[in-house]
Structure 1
Amino acid sequence: MGGLVGESKGKAVLRACGCAVAGLFLIAGCTADGTSKGGAASGSPGTSATPSGTGASGTGGTGASAPAAGPSSSARVAMPPVDESKQPKTAAEARDLLGRIIIAEQDLGPEVVRSTPFESGPGRWPVLDESCVWQTEGLPPDVLATSTRHFHIPAKDGRGRVRINATVTVHHNREESGWETARAMEEVLRCPEQKLREGEDLKRLWGGAFYLGEQMNEWTEDAFTETGEYVSEQDGGPYPYTWSQAQFGPVTVAIAAKGAQGVTNDDLTGYVANGTSLMMIQAKQELGKAAG
């Protein structure tokens, strides 16, 4: 990772391209309370999400039809101040917290199933090395706990398999979670082409970030979105790829989606926006100060 100068430069450059990346938030239509403002993603039937563990409601369908890009109106949670007394102090408390925030497959839609392996080990952390190749290392000092869950939509009717990952990371405080977003911005500047593993690559990446109140972002303290192309020796490509990260207090939540044959970027955006906004609602419910 680069230092302070590189990260500051990343913020300046990427925030300058805000109008282009605002497309994700226009499709998502997330309001300050995290609810859907504009309905489903373009050309896709809607599915409303409910908090993890309660199941998902809505219509099914075939193909990679994206769910509506926001949780149901019954789950509205405005942007509250963080209650510091609720912030985890230990790794065990952080693991318990992220378990209440991270989504399950039913939260993304009826066609989404668990992949194998399903959940990453709690002691590993992804690092983009100087050659733009992703590696895993032990947790850095600023991370109390992190977890990634892996899902997919099985190939069907001429459409390839769609891969979706959901990640929650818990830091000691808001400053540390903010630096995680800054590093993500630096990485896309430094490495517009990245190797996920042997035979899997991301290409033509670009990204943008918005603080609370910038463009359409009124639902997270800091939001970062990255889009590009996914290429796989097994699946072919290039196919659309998108990743979105959001921050509330010491917590970051993220969804990454890799496309396939017959899958559009709008399809992926629906799942990404829906999953990210739902985890943000759950983070606010867990860490936000109660009204009154």
Structure 2
Amino acid sequence: MGGLVDRSRGNAVLRACGCALAGLFLIAGCTADGTPKGGAASSPPGTPSGTGSPGASPPAAEPSGSTLLPMPALDESKQPRTVAEARDLLGRIIIAEQALGPEVVRSTPFESDPSRWPVLDEGCVWQTAGLPADVLATSTRYFHIPAGDGRGRVRISATVTVHHNREESGWETARSMEEVLRCPRQRLREGEELKNLWGGSFYLGEQMNGWTEDAFTETGEYVGAQDGGPYRYTWSQAQYGPVTVAIAARGAEGITEEAVSAFVVQGTSRMMLHAKQELGKAAG
């Protein structure tokens, strides 16, 4: 991976593109803290359903009474110190397929190798490597909505990474910003590419970001030898204390861009809610 960017410089460069994040949450019908209005994601036209009817079934709702959680102060005593503690915390934050809706199922493989870490090399090709020193634990889960009834397969992944502290998780977000600047075109694997990538970042309190310490979103197009395309690709990452959470979604034929964004928002906000519940100081 190339050298890290200065965070203030990276934010300044991406500020003009920062409306991507605000637009993402507006599309999905969310409140300022990133949770869906009324406790559930909206039902944009083209949202996949089990019967193949556009807009028939939105992603799953947040638990009743827990959708609006203010930004709590971090309780540093709850931060994991060991790999075992980090993996335990990670397991309580990452979502399962049920959190995204009844149409979403597990892919094979379902979970990433816990000892490996994705790295974007100098040629803008994604590789895997051993975990860096600043990562205690990370995991990615893979889901999809099966193709059928005139629509293609929608692929979704959820990632949680646990660092030692807030500074390290902040640098992870900085690296994400650097990657989209350095590589607006990236190869996932043979026959699969991301193109025309651009992104934006907002600290807590900037624009619509009232739900995470640092929010980053990346948008572009996905093209696959088997899946076709180009189709909508969106990555959304959020930070709370030593934890980052992220959702990536790739659209398909017959699926609207709004539907793809709704799944991204639903997954990211749910995992951020879990992180706040696990690491935040109790009210009162």
Judge same fold: TM > 0.5, yes or no.
yes
Match in the other structure for 2:44: 42
In structure 1, distance between residues paired with 2:110 and 2:83: 21
Q: Give per-residue Cα distances to partners, 1:95-118, cap 9 Å, x unaligned.
A: 000000000001100000000000
Shift of 1:29: 4.2
Shift of 1:144: 0.3
Change (3 A) 1:281 1:116: same
Q: Give per-residue Cα distances to partners, 1:151-207, cap 9 Å, x unaligned.
A: 000001010000000000000000100110011001000000000001100000000
In structure 2, distance between residues paired with 1:197 and 1:45: 27
1:71 is the counterpart of 2:73:
no
Q: Matched residue of 1:23: which SS?
A: helix
Match in the other structure for 2:22: 22
Shift of 1:68: 5.4
In structure 1, distance between residues paired with 2:54 and 2:42: 13
In structure 2, distance between residues paired with 1:44 and 1:82: 39
Shift of 1:78: 1.8
Shift of 1:10: 2.3
Match in the other structure for 2:169: 177
Q: Give per-residue Cα distances to partners, 1:76-106, cap 9 Å, x unaligned.
A: 3221001000000001100000000000001
In structure 2, distance between residues paired with 1:199 and 1:3: 28
1:227 is the counterpart of 2:180:
no
1:12 is the counterpart of 2:4:
no
In structure 2, distance between residues paired with 1:276 and 1:61: 26
Q: Read off the aligned partner of 1:174 and give its amino acid letter.
A: R
Calculate the aligned-residue CA RMSD, in Å.
2.1
Change (3 A) 1:33 1:17: closer
Q: Read off the aligned partner of 1:71 and give its amino acid letter.
A: E
Q: Matched residue of 2:65: which SS?
A: helix
Alignment of structure 1 residues 31-110 onto 2, 5 Å: 31=31, 34-37=34-37, 40=42, 42-43=44-45, 62=52, 65=55, 67=58, 71-76=62-67, 77-110=69-102
Alignment of structure 1 residues 266-277 onto 2, 5 Å: 266-277=258-269
Equivalent of residue 255 in structure 1, options 241, 247, 254 = 247
In structure 2, distance between residues paired with 1:278 and 1:245: 12
Structure 2 gaps of 5+ residues are none
In structure 2, distance between residues paired with 1:104 and 1:69: 11
Match in the other structure for 2:210: 218
In structure 2, distance between residues paired with 1:181 and 1:149: 20
Change (3 A) 1:111 1:20: closer
Shift of 1:17: 2.2
In structure 1, distance between residues paired with 2:80 and 2:121: 30
Change (3 A) 1:26 1:90: same
Change (3 A) 1:161 1:22: same
In structure 1, distance between residues paired with 2:101 and 2:193: 27
1:123 is the counterpart of 2:151:
no
Match in the other structure for 2:129: 137
Q: Matched residue of 1:135: which SS?
A: strand
Change (3 A) 1:264 1:218: same
In structure 2, distance between residues paired with 1:270 and 1:226: 15
Structure 1 gaps of 5+ residues are 47-58
Equivalent residues of 2:144, 2:155 under 8 A apart: yes
In structure 2, distance between residues paired with 1:232 and 1:45: 21
TM-score, normalising length: structure 2: 0.92
Match in the other structure for 2:160: 168
Deviating beyond 6 angstroms after TM superposition, the runs of 4 or more aligned structure 1 residues are none
TM-score, normalising length: structure 1: 0.89
Match in the other structure for 2:271: 279
Give the length in aligned residue pairs.
280
Change (3 A) 1:32 1:84: farther
Change (3 A) 1:170 1:64: farther
